[in-house]
Amino acid sequence: MKEDVAFRRRTEPLSGETILDVAAKGLGVERAALRQRRRCSPLRAVAARMLLCHGGQTQREAGLLLGMGTGGAVSAQVRRLPDLLAKDGALRKQVEEIEKSLKFLRLPASRQTKRGSAKC
Protein backbone atom coordinates (compact mmCIF):
# COMPACT_ATOMS: atom_id res chain seq x y z
CA MET A 1 0.00 0.00 0.00
CA LYS A 2 1.38 3.39 -0.96
CA GLU A 3 1.59 6.26 1.48
CA ASP A 4 -0.67 9.21 0.82
CA VAL A 5 1.33 12.40 0.46
CA ALA A 6 -1.29 14.28 2.42
CA PHE A 7 -0.08 12.52 5.58
CA ARG A 8 3.51 13.72 5.25
CA ARG A 9 4.57 16.53 7.51
CA ARG A 10 5.91 19.44 5.54
CA THR A 11 7.92 22.03 7.36
CA GLU A 12 9.91 24.99 6.20
CA PRO A 13 13.62 25.11 7.00
CA LEU A 14 14.61 27.61 9.66
CA SER A 15 16.84 30.56 8.91
CA GLY A 16 20.53 30.26 9.69
CA GLU A 17 20.26 33.16 12.11
CA THR A 18 17.51 31.48 14.13
CA ILE A 19 19.42 28.20 14.26
CA LEU A 20 22.61 29.89 15.44
CA ASP A 21 20.69 31.81 18.12
CA VAL A 22 19.06 28.62 19.46
CA ALA A 23 22.35 26.68 19.31
CA ALA A 24 24.27 29.41 21.15
CA LYS A 25 21.60 29.64 23.85
CA GLY A 26 21.47 25.85 24.23
CA LEU A 27 25.26 25.61 24.51
CA GLY A 28 25.41 28.53 26.95
CA VAL A 29 27.70 30.70 24.84
CA GLU A 30 27.53 33.95 22.93
CA ARG A 31 26.66 33.58 19.28
CA ALA A 32 30.07 34.93 18.28
CA ALA A 33 31.69 31.90 19.95
CA LEU A 34 30.18 29.68 17.24
CA ARG A 35 32.35 31.45 14.65
CA GLN A 36 35.58 31.24 16.64
CA ARG A 37 38.16 28.62 15.83
CA ARG A 38 39.12 26.67 18.95
CA ARG A 39 41.00 23.44 19.28
CA CYS A 40 38.85 20.48 20.40
CA SER A 41 35.73 22.62 20.82
CA PRO A 42 32.40 21.02 19.90
CA LEU A 43 30.62 24.35 19.38
CA ARG A 44 31.08 24.65 15.64
CA ALA A 45 30.37 20.96 15.10
CA VAL A 46 27.02 21.24 16.88
CA ALA A 47 26.08 24.44 15.06
CA ALA A 48 27.05 22.95 11.70
CA ARG A 49 24.92 19.86 12.28
CA MET A 50 21.93 21.98 13.23
CA LEU A 51 22.33 24.14 10.12
CA LEU A 52 22.44 21.05 7.92
CA CYS A 53 19.51 19.28 9.56
CA HIS A 54 17.14 22.12 10.36
CA GLY A 55 18.13 24.85 7.95
CA GLY A 56 18.40 22.88 4.76
CA GLN A 57 21.85 24.39 4.26
CA THR A 58 24.59 22.83 2.20
CA GLN A 59 27.92 22.20 3.88
CA ARG A 60 29.38 25.14 1.98
CA GLU A 61 26.58 27.48 3.14
CA ALA A 62 26.98 26.32 6.74
CA GLY A 63 30.73 26.89 6.45
CA LEU A 64 30.19 30.47 5.33
CA LEU A 65 27.79 31.18 8.21
CA LEU A 66 30.24 29.72 10.73
CA GLY A 67 33.32 31.37 9.25
CA MET A 68 34.85 28.02 8.27
CA GLY A 69 35.22 28.83 4.61
CA THR A 70 34.74 25.43 2.99
CA GLY A 71 32.25 22.61 2.99
CA GLY A 72 35.10 20.21 3.70
CA ALA A 73 35.74 21.85 7.05
CA VAL A 74 32.07 21.47 7.93
CA SER A 75 32.18 17.82 6.89
CA ALA A 76 35.15 17.18 9.18
CA GLN A 77 33.40 18.86 12.13
CA VAL A 78 30.13 16.99 11.64
CA ARG A 79 31.97 13.69 11.17
CA ARG A 80 33.66 13.99 14.58
CA LEU A 81 30.50 15.03 16.44
CA PRO A 82 29.21 11.50 17.23
CA ASP A 83 32.48 10.69 19.01
CA LEU A 84 32.25 13.90 21.04
CA LEU A 85 28.66 13.13 22.01
CA ALA A 86 29.54 9.57 23.03
CA LYS A 87 32.26 10.84 25.37
CA ASP A 88 30.41 13.81 26.88
CA GLY A 89 26.98 13.19 28.41
CA ALA A 90 26.41 16.85 29.27
CA LEU A 91 27.05 17.88 25.66
CA ARG A 92 24.71 15.13 24.46
CA LYS A 93 21.92 16.51 26.67
CA GLN A 94 22.54 20.04 25.40
CA VAL A 95 22.36 18.83 21.80
CA GLU A 96 19.12 16.95 22.50
CA GLU A 97 17.58 20.11 23.96
CA ILE A 98 18.70 22.17 20.96
CA GLU A 99 17.17 19.53 18.65
CA LYS A 100 13.87 19.69 20.55
CA SER A 101 13.79 23.48 20.40
CA LEU A 102 14.50 23.56 16.67
CA LYS A 103 11.95 20.86 15.89
CA PHE A 104 9.37 22.79 17.89
CA LEU A 105 10.14 25.98 15.94
CA ARG A 106 9.76 24.13 12.63
CA LEU A 107 6.26 22.89 13.45
CA PRO A 108 3.37 24.82 11.95
CA ALA A 109 1.80 27.19 14.47
CA SER A 110 -1.28 24.98 14.74
CA ARG A 111 0.85 22.03 15.97
CA GLN A 112 3.13 23.80 18.45
CA THR A 113 1.55 22.32 21.54
CA LYS A 114 3.81 19.31 22.10
CA ARG A 115 7.57 18.97 21.89
CA GLY A 116 9.00 15.93 20.09
CA SER A 117 12.49 14.44 20.28
CA ALA A 118 13.06 12.61 16.98
CA LYS A 119 16.55 12.48 15.47
CA CYS A 120 17.53 14.46 12.40
pLDDT tier, 53 (very low <50, low <70, confident <90, very high otherwise): very high
Average pLDDT over residues 70-92: 94
Distance CA 3, CA 41 (A): 43
pLDDT at 94 over 50: yes
CATH topology of domain 12-104: Chromosomal Replication Initiator Protein Dnaa; Chain: A; (1.10.1750)
Distances (CA, A) of 62 to 15, 20, 75, 90: 11, 10, 10, 24
Average pLDDT over residues 49-64: 94
- CB atoms inside a 10 Å sphere around CB 76: 14
pTM above 0.85, yes or no: no
The residue among 90, 84, 89, 120 whose CA lies nearest residue 102 is 120
Contact 44, 73 (CB under 8 A): no
What confidence score (pLDDT) does residue 15 get?
Answer: 93
